[in-house]
Structure 1
Amino acid sequence: MSDTPTIEFGSFDFFCSQASLPFCSLVGQKFMPTCYARNLEFYGYLIFQAATIVMAVVALIMAFIMIIHIKSKYTAVGRKEVVKFYYYYCLYIIVEVVASTGIIPMYSEYYPWVVHTYFGIVGATCTALLFSGFVSFQWIEDGTPKSLWLIRVAALLSFGLNFAASFLTFQSPQMFDPKKPLILFVLFFVVNGAEILIYFLMQVFLVVTVLDEKWPLGAILFAAAFYIIGIVSEFILGNEICNYCAHYIDGVFFGFTFILLSVMMVYKYWDSITKEDLEFSVGKNQTVWEIKEPTYYNMNDKGQPPRPF
């Protein structure tokens, strides 16, 4: 198809013409980007998005490091809730790599199920981020079964809703037309985008109205900026980036990279608004208070303790 589609509500055609997204071979008019990142052949297998695979490995390593640091802050508010978002983010990385790099070919009978899972994981990750943001306001006591199950159930419902919408769109075309996947478009862009936007607005409101320190505001604003750059790079400027970089990398790589930076800044923001554990804090001007056994003196004739030598 020679004509480049325009942005249209309810249609993935324009976005699929800019980036090789996991669902583009199944949805819409089957538009594909005109510029691809270079592929690699490995023992007879053709690997797509090789640079993205490297970045995915880096993202997983960074995610595990952030998880370890979060779990080490035993008294931090929302520690257990925030770490769940990073677990979902790790699952998102794995599913994104499987769906985008040819590990499971597009012609495989299992590929649609990978796409269904991709939509579900993206929805669950965005929902987990939103509900982890509610914990900062202490509407529900953090770390309690009620708080943790709220995130689990909300993420599971989001996963199920997105998975079902994808399944009905691609596997049951009599119910949802895959050429005009309005429900899937609303869930993927509108609902997920709204959850992320609400999270960022809540955190800005928290910093401005509640916290004494304003430095965390910079971290959350950087997170928002990196996320916007990543989305624009992947979904809007994919072909331009690919041509400018001589096919070595494309918008998918930039999108993956900047979303990773956004997730890292979310961790930095959360770390800056939580207090350090007193048990593990180390400072150069520490004062150690120690209780010793009392010392008894023999009184002299005037009822006063003797002078030290």
Structure 2
Amino acid sequence: MGSTAFGNFNVRRALASKNASANHLHQAANMGRSTGLLQGFDLAGLQCTFTDGRTEAWHAAPDLLSSPDHDQIGPWGGCQLTGIPLSGGQHLGNLGSIILCGVAIVAAALMVLKSEKKRAAVGRREMQLFLLCYIIISICEIFSVGVFPLNKSVRLAFTSIHIGMIIATTWILMLNAVVGYQLIDDGTPLSMCLMLLSAAALLIGTGYIALDTGFQWTGYWNSSYELPNRNIALYVLYQLVPLVFLVAFFVLETILVLRVLGEVRPMVYLVAAAALFALGQVFNYDISKYICDGTSGKIDGALFETLFTLLSVVMVWVFWSSITEDDWPMQSTSTYP
């Protein structure tokens, strides 16, 4: 039996390990950008073509790959994020996003430590793995979305890792939802190895495509440097696949909480996490252009996307914590007169 704060549910045996406890979940892997309305994807991330023919400009991690100088300046137009001017003609593109990424790293590290204290929680190690991946994404975002002044090759490397980590982290997120069903024992070498190896395969595959696009090793993706700057492979891997993983995570967790645990209250936290994440995407896709124009390129919607994604991750951790036990129940002992 697996014990949670809201009741018991049948699971496989072998919950006697330290890492056992209840259900699982996490949200947000800072997927970056996700929408089902895009018809074409500008590899620069600054221009997307909708099914109704509209084109709008945004800033995203892949904008650094197909730009001639691997920055956010290119032939696609739109509001240019200039941020804070520095010496030598350089700019600190998105100071707000950089600061919030620092806050996200600290917050995620604290949640990793708090998770360590929940010794009876099902999926404790898997949750910590998700949070560690989120930390890596936040570090990469400082140098990609944050437009931190860097050497071109270094910026390309951070951008490629950023894109690869997004799909790997959302995959880990989805697997964390599966962990709650206890198909295999959580926290075991088998569980962790399967999760790490499959995520590594996605990271390496996606990262290679991004690196080959940026460095033009084989020339296979060179067409993305020509207007309308489309790269179908990165569009699918960066936009569509993570969205599928996120939807699967939400559905699996909803079934687990409502049907297996028979509770409703935890759904408040899960829905809040999904709403915060969606709100971040609204700022990133629909409002970003107006923020950029209104501030003369000082900031854009990426700042708010980073903020709401962080809040979403925190709410997911609160959700997970609310349905798992902190420690093993104390066994009652009989006393004799």
1:277-309, Cα deviation, whole Å (9 max, x unpaired): 147x9xxxxxx96858x6xxxxxxxxxxxxxxx
Q: How far, CA to CA, are the matches of 2:290 and 2:315 in structure 1?
A: 27
Partner residue in 1 for 2:6: none
The question of whether the paired residues in 2 share the 8 Å contact of 1:81 and 1:148 is answered with yes
**Alignment counterpart, residue 96 of structure 1, candidates 121, 141, 144:** 141
Partner residue in 2 for 1:302: none
* Alignment-mate amino acid for residue 122 of structure 2: V
Decide which moves more: 180-189 or 8-17. 8-17
**Alignment counterpart, residue 62 of structure 2, candidates 10, 23, 26:** 23
The question of whether the paired residues in 2 share the 8 Å contact of 1:17 and 1:34 is answered with no
Q: CA deviation at 1:66?
A: 0.9
| 1:118-157 matched pairs, under 5 angstroms | 118-157=162-201
Q: CA deviation at 1:22?
A: 2.7
| 1:101-250 matched pairs, under 5 angstroms | 101-105=146-150, 108-170=152-214, 171-172=216-217, 174-176=219-221, 177-178=223-224, 179-244=229-294, 249-250=299-300
* Alignment-mate amino acid for residue 91 of structure 1: I
Q: How far, CA to CA, are the matches of 1:265 and 1:38 in structure 2?
A: 30
Q: CA deviation at 1:247?
A: 5.5
Q: Does 1:86 align with 2:140?
A: no
The question of whether the paired residues in 1 share the 8 Å contact of 2:79 and 2:292 is answered with no
Q: CA deviation at 1:100?
A: 2.8
Q: How far, CA to CA, are the matches of 2:187 and 2:305 in structure 1?
A: 33
Q: CA deviation at 1:155?
A: 1.3
Percent of aligned positions with the same letter in both sequences? Answer: 24
Q: CA deviation at 1:213?
A: 2.2
1:245-293, Cα deviation, whole Å (9 max, x unpaired): 67554200011011111111110111111123147x9xxxxxx96858x
Partner residue in 2 for 1:71: 116
Unaligned runs of 5+ in 1: 1-5, 282-287, 295-309
**Alignment counterpart, residue 95 of structure 2, candidates 47, 50, 58:** 50
The question of whether the paired residues in 2 share the 8 Å contact of 1:18 and 1:236 is answered with no
Residue 152 of structure 2 aligns to a residue whose secondary structure is coil
The question of whether the paired residues in 2 share the 8 Å contact of 1:10 and 1:186 is answered with no
Q: How far, CA to CA, are the matches of 1:186 and 1:174 in structure 2?
A: 20
Decide which moves more: 112-121 or 194-203. 112-121
Residue 91 of structure 2 aligns to a residue whose secondary structure is strand
Q: CA deviation at 1:73?
A: 0.2
Q: Does 1:14 align with 2:40?
A: no
| 1:250-269 matched pairs, under 5 angstroms | 250-269=300-319
The question of whether the paired residues in 2 share the 8 Å contact of 1:24 and 1:30 is answered with no
Unaligned runs of 5+ in 2: 1-36, 49-54, 68-73
Which has more radius of gyration? 1
Q: How far, CA to CA, are the matches of 1:156 and 1:104 in structure 2?
A: 28
The question of whether the paired residues in 1 share the 8 Å contact of 2:280 and 2:307 is answered with yes
Q: How far, CA to CA, are the matches of 2:40 and 2:119 in structure 1?
A: 45
Q: CA deviation at 1:31?
A: 2.4
Decide which moves more: 18-27 or 31-40. 31-40
1:123-150, Cα deviation, whole Å (9 max, x unpaired): 2211111111110111111111111111
Q: How far, CA to CA, are the matches of 1:93 and 1:232 in structure 2?
A: 19
Q: TM-score, normalised by structure 2?
A: 0.75
Partner residue in 2 for 1:277: 327
Q: How far, CA to CA, are the matches of 2:159 and 2:81 in structure 1?
A: 20
Q: CA deviation at 1:122?
A: 1.2
Q: CA deviation at 1:212?
A: 2.7
1:192-248, Cα deviation, whole Å (9 max, x unpaired): 111111111111111121113211111111111111111121123211233456755
Q: CA deviation at 1:48?
A: 1.7
Residue 160 of structure 2 aligns to a residue whose secondary structure is helix
Q: How far, CA to CA, are the matches of 1:257 and 1:42 in structure 2?
A: 28
